Chain A
Amino acid sequence: GAGVSQSPSNKVTEKGKDVELRCDPISGHTALYWYRQSLGQGLEFLIYFQGNSAPDKSGLPSDRFSAERTGGSVSTLTIQRTQQEDSAVYLCASSSVGARGDTQYFGPGTRLTVL
């Protein structure tokens, strides 16, 4: 079946603009994750959604970052007033139930460049 898809694959924006990144998880997966991958760094956890539960937003670096998940499926990560340090690859992953040991399947990522 189809894997996790993300759009756009690349996004170039100017400092101060808002951007929206989209994630389509694997059908039937109740858990959805956003990570940020900066050059030379590991994956940094941003936010986690599980079903109808309140999301775990503990990894969001500032209040300029927000995410929502509509209808328990598609998710959008929004970055307001982008800064150059926001430049990174934003990865989305989904898993079937979101428990420990539950395989997280990653999308190809969105490469964000803030000029």
Chain B
Amino acid sequence: QQQVKQSPQSLIVQKGGISIINCAYENTAFDYFPWYQQFPGKGPALLIAIRPDVSEKKEGRFTISFNKSAKQFSLHIMDSQPGDSATYFCAASKGTYKYIFGTGTRLKVLA
């Protein structure tokens, strides 16, 4: 029940395309859902986050869609760029600092 399942494991997208990464959870007590972006040799960095009281949050080209009833949330990267090539992690927490991370999606955007 503590798991966060992330898919796909890897993703290749053409420049200008839409990248979509999905996460699913079981624990309905989770109340905070951040996405982290990690470049090779670097630590993860917070990209965008959402709480379950909204269904969508957009920041620039990055959008989180949240489906509370399905217990799923996804990251959409619009107009994907080669500079977006990185590993993306979703995470969830329930009222505390302790994040449960997904296994990551390696995104490659072709020029």
A binds B: yes
Provided the pairs A91-B43, A106-B45 are in contact, do residues A43 and B89 lie with their beta carbons within 8 angstroms?
A: yes
The answer, yes or no, to whether A48 is at the interface (CB within 8 Å) is yes
Q: Which of B12-39 contact A (CB under 8 A)?
A: 31-32, 36
How far is B89's CA from A93's CA once the two chains are assembled, in angstroms?
A: 15
Q: Across chains A and B, which 5 residue pairs bring their CB atoms closest together, nearest first?
A: A106-B43, A42-B101, A43-B101, A42-B103, A98-B97
Provided the pairs A4-B43, A106-B43 are in contact, do residues A45 and B99 lie with their beta carbons within 8 angstroms?
A: yes
Min CB gap A103→B, angstroms: 5
Provided the pairs A42-B89, A42-B104 are in contact, do residues A48 and B44 lie with their beta carbons within 8 angstroms?
A: no
How far is B46's CA from A43's CA once the two chains are assembled, in angstroms?
A: 14
How far is B91's CA from A109's CA once the two chains are assembled, in angstroms?
A: 19
- Which B residues fall within an 8 A CB radius of A? 4, 6, 9, 31-32, 36, 41-46, 49, 51, 89, 91, 93, 95-104
Taking chain B's interface residues, is the majority helix, strand, or loop, or is none over half, making it mixed? Answer: loop
- Which A residues fall within an 8 A CB radius of B? 4, 31, 33, 35, 40-45, 48, 50, 56, 91, 93, 95, 98-109
Min CB gap A20→B, angstroms: 19
Q: Jot down 30 A-B pairs with beta carbons below 8 A, ordered by A.
A: A31-B97, A35-B101, A40-B103, A41-B104, A42-B4, A43-B44, A43-B91, A43-B99, A43-B101, A45-B98, A48-B97, A48-B98, A56-B98, A91-B43, A93-B43, A100-B31, A100-B93, A100-B97, A101-B32, A101-B51, A103-B46, A104-B99, A105-B45, A105-B46, A106-B36, A106-B44, A106-B45, A107-B43, A108-B41, A108-B43
